Chain A
């Protein structure tokens, strides 16, 4: 059974940092790009970042460039998202999701998400 389990969310003050993690199982992790997608309260889905199978390519939505960093550990079947300089508008449920072709393929497996709340 495919499983993606996110962790690391929580309440953080503006300007603060968090590190999100996603543990994958049940599929060949090294065959997939890994993505982070978020959903702000009452809003739609927004793709945030992705990383190639071997970690050699990383892409970000403009609004998080320079603040968020995606990484992966293929030995541990995990992907991470380091969130720095957090803003209120970063408040959202963050999902990890897999895709075969980066941003040019659908997101076939998803986790249940982890909530990040940025507030003083």
Chain B
């Protein structure tokens, strides 16, 4: 069974601080890894694709890294609008699969 595992489940961060979110794949997904931001009542937003490419309009404080099985999303200086739930998703293997999410909340 292919599994995407995110950690931590919850990350408490103060505004202006750096947040580092992890995503691990049970088998290699090359660099076919995306990150999404979900806020209640809003459409999910694609942040990063290809493990490290920012989607259109995404601020430079969001960055992605990694390949194979280990990936990281970094938010360099958290803004109030960044408190949300973040999901990684692999699209290398069928079917596309999401992690269980990391909630970033205010410390």
Binding site for B on A (CB under 8 A): 4, 39, 43-47, 59, 61, 95, 97, 101, 103-113
Contact = CB atoms under 8 A, between A and B. Distances in A.
A103 B94 contact: yes
Contact of A106 (B43, B49, B94, B101): B49
Interface in B76-105: 87, 89, 91-92, 94-101
Contact of A47 (B92, B95, B99, B100): B95
B95 A59 contact: yes
A110 B97 contact: no
Nearest to B4: A44
B13 interface: no
Contacts of A103: 91, 94-96
A44 B43 contact: no
Nearest to A103: B96
B91 A45 contact: no
A106 B87 contact: no
A4 B36 CA distance: 17
B87 A104 contact: no
Contacts of B42: 112
B44 A95 contact: yes
Contacts of B45: 110
B91 A106 contact: yes
A101 B96 CA distance: 11
Interface string B15-47: 000000000000000001010101001111110
